[in-house]
Structure 1
Amino acid sequence: MNPIVPAVDHPIEDVQAKTDKRQIAINKVGIKDIRHPVRVSDRSGGEQHTVASFNMYVDLPHHFKGTHMSRFVEILNQHEHEITVRSFREMLREMSHRLQAESGHIEMGFPYFVTKQAPISKVQSLMDYQVTFLGEIKEDKPQITVKVVVPVTSLCPCSKQISDYGAHNQRSHVTVAVRIEGFIWLEDIIDLVEEEASCEIYGLLKRPDEKYVTERAYDNPKFVEDMVRDVAARLNQDDRISAYRVESENFESIHNHSAYAMIEREKQLST
């Protein structure tokens, strides 16, 4: 039996499109923290099926009462296919056009997994990294920033220097946000950070691996200041990146506080 659909005798009023008399424009209006399945390409040639959390906003001119919230969800549903930086740019353009906005913002955060091999035993395990795509469009010109949180090990140079034996170390989070001009793999950013740490972190280690990572960190001590400077030096050499922000937070093992450092730069790229 088919459901009874009531007849509509007259068009339903579009309340959002009414004129607002307060003459106050809104910088960002939209939807926040909506989860949606996505597929993300990885450097190995495969793709990862994951769930991302989205924030989607547009500006609203002073004469409109509201925006059309359902259109944000419609745009998400049309982009269930593989998410790349290119398709992310297309989503930004589509959102600003459909909502007749001069500017728009999309934030997409998701866990990203990399298969890593232990240094000695070669046993494999997964490491997860928190990734965020940040997109902004103004005057139909999209700009994409990719942010990755990379956990690493840091060992204190001062502790090593003044102690007769041993040195304190800790897990650190290095957060790199890069504005990209060309294509870049997420793994490229992760590799860069891990190569500049006292030692990288693994999901699974055997005893010979534990010996290796302990001695590797001891031979490669880094202050939080060293960490951000070394990563920044590498980013300065990469022409795919036009701007960056590098943060390092050491969750100190001998203090009840964290050590923190940050470098932020706009690069002058050659044309």
Structure 2
Amino acid sequence: MEKHVDLIEKKQLPHKEERLKLFGSVKPGPKTKPVDKCQMTDIQNMKKDFLFELDAVGIDRVKHPITVTSQLSPQEQTTVAQFTFTSSIKQTSKGTNMSRFMEQLQAYHERGFVANFNSLKHFAKELSERLNQRDATISVKFPWFYERRGPASRLAGLNHADITMTVNYDQKEGYTLSAGMTVQVTTLCPCSKEISEYSAHNQRGNVTMEISFIDDNIDDYMNWKEELLEAAESNASARLHPVLKRPDEKMVTEQAYENPRFVEDMVRLVAADLYELDYIRKFKVSCRNEESIHMHDAIASLTYDKLKEKNA
């Protein structure tokens, strides 16, 4: 067999250094400024009257791996979270040291960062001290996976809900804790069921719950993720399943037909469950139905503060 002959004539390219120079690279110039950190000017730490205090300054959209624990299987999982770190800034301070946020995140990562309220409380307080500010806030968003089995076949797969956890630490006020969850469910239209000779249209419902905790005693609400998930799913027409065989599908569609829900119904029913959870002080429930026979979505929301009820 004849040896392959490359008939393509190769370009004669200039050397790498000449190519870089062609596209704008220049030789390093003389260096006159200090290289030791202790001798460098720190503009962010300048102290003057800078006109206004800032509510929050920091970094956002920081992606990082975390560990999540759960009462549901899988009880420990690794996922990717998105972080926001902020603190307030006094009128006499020019700015913050952005690198300190990431330095602390790396330190927690090396020790094994488990995303629970206990670790987030420690993180926020330590961040406040590191920044030499009176407060600090950490917010983390991540997908939380949980096992779901088909109602008849019992075949398992993983569903997920989107979680948000936020901790604010203030030297005078202490800790403020809040959380959020978005869960996808099935909703079947009550009006369609009522007026049609047979069948009824259904849709994918997105239930979002935002809650404020009554205090920072985390031992009183270790199962908050599971309880918010149950509040959304148990009030829907039907739950979503990653694996459905025909006997499962029959059960799920019949259940949906037996439990029709408007978006208005959803937010009221979920709100009732959240109202009964003693560790929740304030909540907002919203639902967005992705309509199957309309071009638009249907939406509803409800906000309730138990503290205002108590003071009324």
- When normalised by structure 1's length, the TM-score is 0.92
CA pair 207-19 structure 1, distance change in 2 beyond 3 A: same
Distance in 1 separating the partners of 2:251 and 2:161: 23
SS in structure 1 at match of 2:207: strand
SS in structure 2 at match of 1:153: strand
Figure out how many residues of one structure are paired with residues of the other and give that number: 265
**Cross-structure match for 1:3:** none
**Cross-structure match for 1:54:** 83
Identity %: 37
**Cross-structure match for 1:125:** 157
Q: CA deviation at 1:227?
A: 0.4
SS in structure 2 at match of 1:200: coil
**Cross-structure match for 2:144:** 112
**Cross-structure match for 1:23:** 51
Which sits farther off after the overlay, 133-142 or 197-206? 133-142
Q: CA deviation at 1:20?
A: 4.0
Counterpart contact for 1:249–1:259, Cα < 8 Å: yes
Which sits farther off after the overlay, 260-269 or 242-251? 260-269
Distance in 2 separating the partners of 1:9 and 1:259: 57
In proportion to residue count, which structure has more helix? Answer: 2
CA pair 194-8 structure 1, distance change in 2 beyond 3 A: closer
**Cross-structure match for 1:94:** 126
**Cross-structure match for 1:11:** 39
The structure number with the bigger radius of gyration is 2
Please list every run of 5 or more consecutive structure 2 residues that lacks an aligned counterpart in the other structure: 1-33
In proportion to residue count, which structure has more strand? Answer: 1
**Cross-structure match for 1:243:** 282
Distance in 1 separating the partners of 2:36 and 2:107: 28
**Cross-structure match for 2:196:** 163
SS in structure 2 at match of 1:255: coil
SS in structure 1 at match of 2:273: helix
Distance in 2 separating the partners of 1:8 and 1:199: 63
Q: CA deviation at 1:29?
A: 0.7
Q: CA deviation at 1:44?
A: 4.1
Q: How big is each residue's C-alpha offset from its partner over 1:6-45, in whole Å with a ceiling of 9 and x where there is no partner?
A: 9849622222111244312221111111111111111148
CA RMSD of aligned residues (A): 1.9
**Cross-structure match for 1:224:** 263
SS in structure 1 at match of 2:244: coil
Q: CA deviation at 1:179?
A: 1.7
- When normalised by structure 2's length, the TM-score is 0.80
Distance in 2 separating the partners of 1:119 and 1:8: 65
**Cross-structure match for 2:176:** 143
Pairing 1:260–2:299 present: yes
Q: CA deviation at 1:70?
A: 0.9
Moved over 3 A (4+): 6-10
Equivalent positions of 1:24-43 (< 5 A) are 24-43=52-71
Equivalent positions of 1:58-69 (< 5 A) are 58-69=87-98
